[in-house]
Chain A
Amino acid sequence: MFITPTGEEVFVIDGHTHFWDGSPANQLNIHGKQFIDCFYAYHTSLSPKDKLWPKDQFEKYSAEQMYQDLFVDGPDDMAVVQSTYLTEFYKNGFNTIDRNAEMAKQYKDRFIVNGAFDPRDGERALEYIHYMKETFGIKGVKLYTAEWKGESRGWKLTDPNAYRCFELCQKLGITNIHVHKGPTIIPLDKDAFDVHDVDHAATDFQGLNFIIEHCGLPRLDDFCWIAVQETNVYGGLAVALPFIHGRPRYFAEVISELLFWVGEDKILFGSDYAIWTPRWLVEKFWNFELPEDLKQEHGVDLTPQAKKKILGLNAARLYGVDVEAQKRKLAGQVRATAAE
C-alpha cells in the first residue's frame, strides 16, 4: 500500500515483474551472459545511485528478497509476475512459470502469475496453454516476439500459429496478453520488437487485452496510433518510468503523449523488477506534476485520480481484482511477516 504525503491510501498493482535466474550457473552460452549484462546496464544507467545492486545479487535473487522489495520495503499490494523462457540462452530457462508459481505459492494473495508460450512450437504450444490454465489458472501471458529458437530469430503476433494460440487463449479466458514491444534487445536486420503486428492481432481478437510493455518505445508514435484506434490496447510504463529520475522533463513529454493518445484508463504501472525496485518509482510518480507548458500544449493533466488508475486500478480491472476485498485480505499481512 502506498500512503500519500496527505495520508491517502493508494492501491498498487505492479504490472510487470520478474523472478529470474540469470546467474552464470544457469547461463547456457555467451548470449545468456550478454542478456543479463544488458539488463544490468539498464539497471545501472537509470537507477538512483543508492538503489544499485551488486551484480551477483542482480543475476539471481531469492524469493524472500523479491517479497521484501515489492511488498515490505516497496509499496506494491500485488504484482504480476511474468514468464520469459529464453531456453536458447539459459539451461533452466530465464524466468519460467514453474519457478514463478513456486515462488508465488509462498506468499498468499500477492502475485498474479502469468505464463508464456511460443507459437513456433505448433501443437505443443496449444498443449502448453492448456497445461498452464489447468495447473496455474493463468489469466495472462507474456509474449517475447524476439525470442530465439533454432534458426528463427523471432516471430510475429500475426503468424498463423500465433492466431491459433490467441483463439485458444480467448476460449480459455486467458485474456491479458502482455507483449514486449520496447527497446531493442535481440534485434535483427528487421526489428523483432516493431509494434505493427499488434494492430492486426488486436483488431482480430476483441476478447483479448493487449498490454504493450514499454509502450513500443522507441516507437511511441506507432504505438499511440495503434492504441488510439484499438479499444483493447494498453500501455505498460516499464522502462519509460525510470526516466522520471534522470530526465524528468523527458518523462513528462512521454506521459503527456500517452495521456493524450491512449488515455489514463489504459496505462499500467510496472516496475520491471528486478531491473528497478518499485518504491522510488511509485514515490517519484506520485509526486510528479506535468509542467504547465505541456499541460497547455496537450490539453492533458496527470491528476491524482489518473495516477491511482495507472498505479493499480487499471490492472485491477484487467485482472478482475476486487480492490476493497483484496485490501481486507492483505491487511496486517506485512506486519505479520515482518514480526516472524
Chain B
Amino acid sequence: MDAVLVHQDRKTSEVWKRLALVTDPELDESVTDLGFIEFVSVDSDDGVDIIFRLPTYWCSANFAFLMADGMRRAVLSLPWVRQVRPRLRDHMVAEEINRGVSEGKSFGDALKDFASGGSLDEVREKFRRKAFERRQEVMILALRGVGYEDGAICRMDLGTYDLIDFGSKEVARQKPRYRELLVERRLAVRPGDRAFVTYEGHPIKRHEFASYMQRLRGVRINMEFNSSLCRGLLAARYGELDGGVAERLPVNAAPCGGCASGCAVRSGGSPATTEKHSAALA
C-alpha cells in the first residue's frame, strides 16, 4: 500500500514539473509560479486531473484556453500518462473551455456560441514575440550591468554569450530562457551566430540600438503591469497573500527572490520550477 502511495506521489510530482513548463502566454511566467494550479491528482488508471483558476472571472478566454491546452500537452508528454483533464473553475467561460479542451476542439469551435471565434495562432505568435523581446531585454540590461558596451552587444555571438558568467543567480536563471527562444526560432544556433538580433532575425544596428531598447522597454512595462496586477488580483481573490499557493507545491517553496517586484506570491523551489521562473528584472 505504502509503495503504491509513494509511486503516486512521484507521479504527481512529475506532473507538477511538467506544468511548471507551461507559461501564461501573456506574462511569460510559469503557471505554477503564478499560483494558477490549484490541485493535481493522478488516479489508478494514470489519468491526471488538474484544477486551475485565474486572477479574475473575466480573464481572457483565449489565454485560459491556451493554458488549458498547454497543460494537456505538457502532461501528455509524460510516457505513463493515459489521459489529462485540465479543469478551469470560477471563470465566465469555464464550462466551454473545459469541454472544448477535453474534446480536443479548437478555440474557435469551443467558444463559437460565446465569441466570434477564430484561430489562436495569431495570438500565440504575438505572445511568443513578446516573450522573446522581454527575455532579450533582460539579458541586454544584464550585459550592460557587467560592463558590455552596446556595440559589443550588437556584435556578440552565441559562443561568447554562452561563456559569460554573470555572477547574479537571477540572471543565470534567465540566461538559458533567452537562448531557448533563439534556438527555437532558429535565430542563433551555431557559436558564430549573432546572439542579439530582432525577432525577424535582423541584426540590430548600433545607431538604432537606443530606439530598439526603448521599444523593448515598452514591452516590459506592459508585461510587468499585467504580471503585477494578476498576482495581486489572484492573491486578493483567493486570500493567499501569505503563500497558500506555496503550500501546494511539491517541494519546499521559497519566497520569490527573483523578480525584485515585491510580489506577494512565492515561487516554487523544485529544480524544474526554479529553472523556469521568469522573473521581472526591475
Residue ranges of A at the interface with B (Cβ–Cβ < 8 Å): 31, 34-35, 37-38, 40-42, 44-46, 153, 183-191, 217-221, 224, 240, 243, 246-247, 249-250, 253-254, 257
Q: Is the CB of B232 within 8 A of A46?
A: yes
Report which of A31, A44, A183, A186 forms a contact with B229, defined as CB distance below 8 A. Answer: A183
Which residues of B are found within 8 Å of A185, using beta-carbon distances? 56, 58
- Chain A's closest residue to B210 (CB) is A297
Taking a contact as CB atoms under 8 Å apart, the answer to whether B222 and A220 are in contact is yes
Whether B219 and A221, one on each chain, are in contact in the complex, defined by CB atoms closer than 8 angstroms, is yes
Q: Which of B216-230 contact A (CB under 8 A)?
A: 217-219, 221-226, 228-229
Using known A-B contacts A189-B107, A219-B222, A221-B215, determine if residue A250 contacts B228 with beta carbons closer than 8 Å.
yes
Residues of A within 8 A of B226 (CB): 183, 218
- The CA-CA distance from A246 to B228 in the complex, in Å, is 10
By CB atoms of chain A within 10 A, which of B114, B225, B228 has the most? B225
Asked whether, in the complex, the Cβ of A41 is within 8 Å of the Cβ of B222, the reply is no
- Residue in A40, A153, A243, A249 whose beta carbon sits within 8 Å of that of B236 in the complex: A40
Binds A, one of B72-80, B81-89, B115-123: B115-123
A-side contacts of B57, CB under 8 Å? 34, 37-38
Given contacts A218-B226, A240-B225, 10 further A-B contacts (CB under 8 A): A34-B58, A185-B58, A189-B111, A189-B117, A190-B118, A217-B225, A224-B218, A246-B232, A254-B221, A257-B218
B245 to chain A, nearest CB (A): 15
Cα of A40 to Cα of B57 in the assembled complex, Å: 13
Task: Using CB atoms and an 8 Å cutoff, list the residues of chain B in contact with chain A.
Answer: 55-62, 92, 107-108, 111, 114-118, 215, 217-219, 221-226, 228-229, 232-233, 235-237, 261-262, 282
Residues of chain A within 8 A of B229, CB atoms compared: 45, 183, 218
Contact A217 B237 (CB under 8 A): no
Q: In whole angstroms, how far apart are the Cα atoms of A221 and B224 in the complex? A: 13
- Say yes or no: A42 contacts B261, CB within 8 Å: no
- Residues of chain A within 8 A (CB-CB) of B262 are 246-247
Contact A187 B58 (CB under 8 A): yes
Does A188 lie within 8 Å of B116, measured CB to CB?
yes
Known: A34-B58, A38-B58, A188-B116. A221 touches B218 (CB 8 A): yes
In the assembled complex, which residues on chain A have CB atoms less than 8 Å from the CB atom of B223? 218
Q: Is the CB of A41 within 8 A of B237?
A: yes
Using Cβ atoms and an 8 Å threshold, which residues of chain B touch A190? 115-116, 118
What CA separation (Å) do A20 and B3 show in the bound complex? Answer: 58
Cross-chain contact A249 with B282 (CB below 8 angstroms): yes
Choose one: A35, A44, A153, A250; the contact of B224 (CB below 8 Å): A250
Q: How far is the CB of A212 from chain B (nearest CB, A)?
A: 15
B228 to chain A, nearest CB (A): 6
Interface centre among B224, B236, B261, B282 (most CB of A within 10 A): B236
Which residue of chain B lies nearest to A46 when distances are taken between CB atoms in the complex? B232
Closest 9 CB pairs of A and B: A45-B232, A221-B218, A34-B57, A44-B236, A41-B236, A189-B115, A218-B222, A187-B60, A45-B236
